[in-house]
Structure 1
Amino acid sequence: MPEGGSIRGRLRTFLPGVGILVFGAIGARAIATKLPGVNELLVAILGGVLLANVVDIPKWATPGIRTHKVWLGTGIVLMGASLAFDAIVESGPIVLLLVCCVTGFTLLYVEALSRNVFGITDQLASLLAAGASICGVSAVVAVAGSIDAREEQIAYAAATVLLFDAVTLVVYPAIGGALDLSARVFGVWAGVSMFSTGPVVAVGFAHSEAAGQWATITKLARNTLIGIVAAGYAAYYARNRLNTESASADDSADNTGTGESGDISLRELWDRFPKFVVGFLLLALVSSAGLFSLGDLRSIENAYGWLFLLAFVGLGTDLELRKLKCAGVRPVFVVFVAFATVSVLSLLLLRAVLG
């Protein structure tokens, strides 16, 4: 009986806040459905922002709202099923090379701008770099768990990325029409330079059927890199944390350890490595092997879509205005500079290579 009582107690503790997340997620999807072109994740974040800054979160709802980390991690794992590694082969070697080059350049460029020019903290810089270089919000949330990013950093990076998603939905079709870009050039351009998958597909098919197909296949190839980048960031930050802890221990005691501070065993890295990244990659491999039916994939996509909505309502509550004032507009400037540079350079490169 004590266990049952404990379970009921936990339900009473968490259900009210989870109920608020569910209500916010349903509301965000309903609003986005009635207003075509409006991103439901952005609406979810805004709902959380209003809840935190206007309505104020009651104490009895706080524990349940804090569960957004659980929904986020679960959604990331399920998102792996949407990645198809064979998309890389279908996109062709030239497009694949362009994807790798543009993605790598964007990642390093945003990191350099953030840290060396705008003085942005390491974790937020990495979130902005991942979001801008790979697949928008999906990359932000995938990398966030790998680097122990704070909730307000995740929410700020996601909101910044979604802001540019909204802008590109309007700007890209206008540029494509003004420059009379071919379907292949426009589709690949959208696929390598825009942030999130949804806007890429929407913009591509708004141009033409062929452009939509090129945009989709290019973006899928680019999305596949998310696992590699998340794993790389996880190893990098885990190693840095261990080196810092080892150096601190050396300063406070005699050197009685097993080696220098830079010598970190694979076991130690594994202990620090976020296990959801493994789940994400395994599910991607299972999906690529064709073990999921089309119906299964649609169900999984719907599931992680809802989980992300729940998570982003909760993440929005961490976007308190006083915290945003401290962060300032530097992240937006970083993404703007990087986005403008990559968009122009990639378009020039594509017109030269693809004609």
Structure 2
Amino acid sequence: MVAGRRKVVPGLVLLCLGALLARSLSVLIGINELLLAIALGAVLVNTVGIPERFRHGTATYNIWLAAGIVLLGSSLTVGMIIEVGATVLLLLVAAVTLTLVTVEVLARNVAGVTDRFGSLLAAGAGICGVSAVAAVGGAVRAKEMHIAYAAGVVLLVDAVTIVVYPIVGAVLDLPDVVFGVWAGVSMLSTGPVVAVGFAHSEVAGQWATITKLARNALIGVVALGYASYYARRGAGGSTSVRMLWENFPKFVLGFLVLVGLASLGAFSPAQQDMISTVVDWLFLLAFVGLGTQIRTAELRATGITPALIVFAAVLLVSVLSLAAALVVL
């Protein structure tokens, strides 16, 4: 056991150094730190390569991903979901459903990618960005390269929307509640949603945060749904409790447990801040390792079409959800 632990140390140190470098570069040049973490890992593996003695440690990235997803549950409560109200919840569910269906259909019929890869893209665009990609990737046992690709696409969309949404909000002079809900139901990742919400106004920031967190709570349901679907398909259409449990993403269960504890008030604001910091670092470690799974030859074979499909779906849902929000709010 001791020898096994020693094997992971060099690679784990490499992940830590990559995470520190990604965060430092993000501060200096203003690019998303997770995108930089993936890029650093990808550059490393496609240039000098990863020596054998580091691979045991870099392969632990999936552990840090799962741990980060579980801890995300501490930031969500059932009350947050109820607080957004029936109208906003209906709009939220409609936007998520439209995004999932649009990406799934286009990915399978236009891009011609594998079903599991299409599901990763759909989850990332429809639920909560990188966290959903990681959760569904583990649930359906997707290829590491596809998880990294989908996560990279999500982060690129984030980079575009964090610039475009404030401009649209200002040009159209959107009401605070409308802008906040619109950002919450149609943007991908939590950080950009909160940022653009509060940049618009305090009220918009509050609505954006609450709406996005309510949407994030669907990650467990969607991951479990995808896990069950692919498990049944792998069993030739039949299913059993044992088979579902074997394919059930256990980290999603941990996520749901923490949502329950947070709903009961188990975490103080200071503890939630500390957990949030830990989650940030866990994801940085994970995405450096995830970047080492990217092979440029495989990416060239995948092409740009999957990324364009996600952008098209986000544009469609963004326009329709804004129109709906202006009508019902």
TM-score (norm 1): 0.90
**CA radius of gyration, larger in:** 1
**Stretches (4+) displaced over 6 A:** none
What is the CA-CA distance between 1:35 and the residue it aligns to?
A: 3.8
What is the CA-CA distance between 1:34 and the residue it aligns to?
A: 3.3
Give the residue type in structure 1 aligned to 2:212. Answer: K
Q: Partners of 1:173 and 1:76 in 2: how far apart?
A: 28
Q: Partners of 2:304 and 2:6 in 1: how far apart?
A: 40
Does structure 1 residue 41 correspond to structure 2 residue 31?
no
Q: How does 1:136-175 map to 2 (within 5 A)?
A: 136-175=129-168
What is the CA-CA distance between 1:268 and the residue it aligns to?
A: 2.0
Q: Partners of 2:172 and 2:23 in 1: how far apart?
A: 35
Q: How does 1:104-183 map to 2 (within 5 A)?
A: 104-183=97-176
| Contact 2:129/2:154 (8 A) holds in 1 | yes
**1:134-157 alpha-carbon deviations (Å, 9 max, x no partner):** 111011111111000111010000
Q: Partners of 1:280 and 1:29 in 2: how far apart?
A: 26
| Contact 1:187/1:204 (8 A) holds in 2 | yes
Match of 1:231? 224
**1:245-267 alpha-carbon deviations (Å, 9 max, x no partner):** xxxxxxxxxxxxxxxxx442212
What is the CA-CA distance between 1:314 and the residue it aligns to?
A: 0.5
Give the residue type in structure 2 aligned to 1:34. Answer: L
Match of 2:81? 88
What is the CA-CA distance between 1:12 and the residue it aligns to?
A: 3.2
Does structure 1 residue 283 correspond to structure 2 residue 276?
no
Match of 2:15? 21
Q: How does 1:194-233 map to 2 (within 5 A)?
A: 194-233=187-226
Q: Secondary structure at the match of 1:235?
A: helix
Q: Partners of 1:94 and 1:35 in 2: how far apart?
A: 40
Aligned-pair Cα RMSD in Å? 1.3
**1:303-336 alpha-carbon deviations (Å, 9 max, x no partner):** 2221111110000111111111010001111101
| Contact 1:188/1:214 (8 A) holds in 2 | yes
| Contact 1:155/1:316 (8 A) holds in 2 | yes
| Contact 2:232/2:238 (8 A) holds in 1 | no
User: Which blocks of at least 5 consecutive residues in structure 1 are unaligned?
Assistant: 1-5, 244-261
| Contact 2:139/2:247 (8 A) holds in 1 | no
Q: Secondary structure at the match of 2:40?
A: helix
Q: Secondary structure at the match of 1:55?
A: coil
Q: Percent identity?
A: 55
| Contact 1:20/1:65 (8 A) holds in 2 | yes
Moved more, 21-30 or 193-202: 21-30
Match of 2:26? 32
Q: Partners of 2:209 and 2:252 in 1: how far apart?
A: 24
Q: Secondary structure at the match of 2:192?
A: helix
Match of 2:70? 77
Give the residue type in structure 1 aligned to 2:15. Answer: L
Give the residue type in structure 2 aligned to 1:268. Answer: M
One of 162, 170, 192 as aligned partner of 2:185: 192
TM-score (norm 2): 0.97
| Contact 1:120/1:330 (8 A) holds in 2 | no
Give the residue type in structure 1 aligned to 2:318. Answer: S
Match of 2:245? 270
What is the CA-CA distance between 1:273 and the residue it aligns to?
A: 1.5
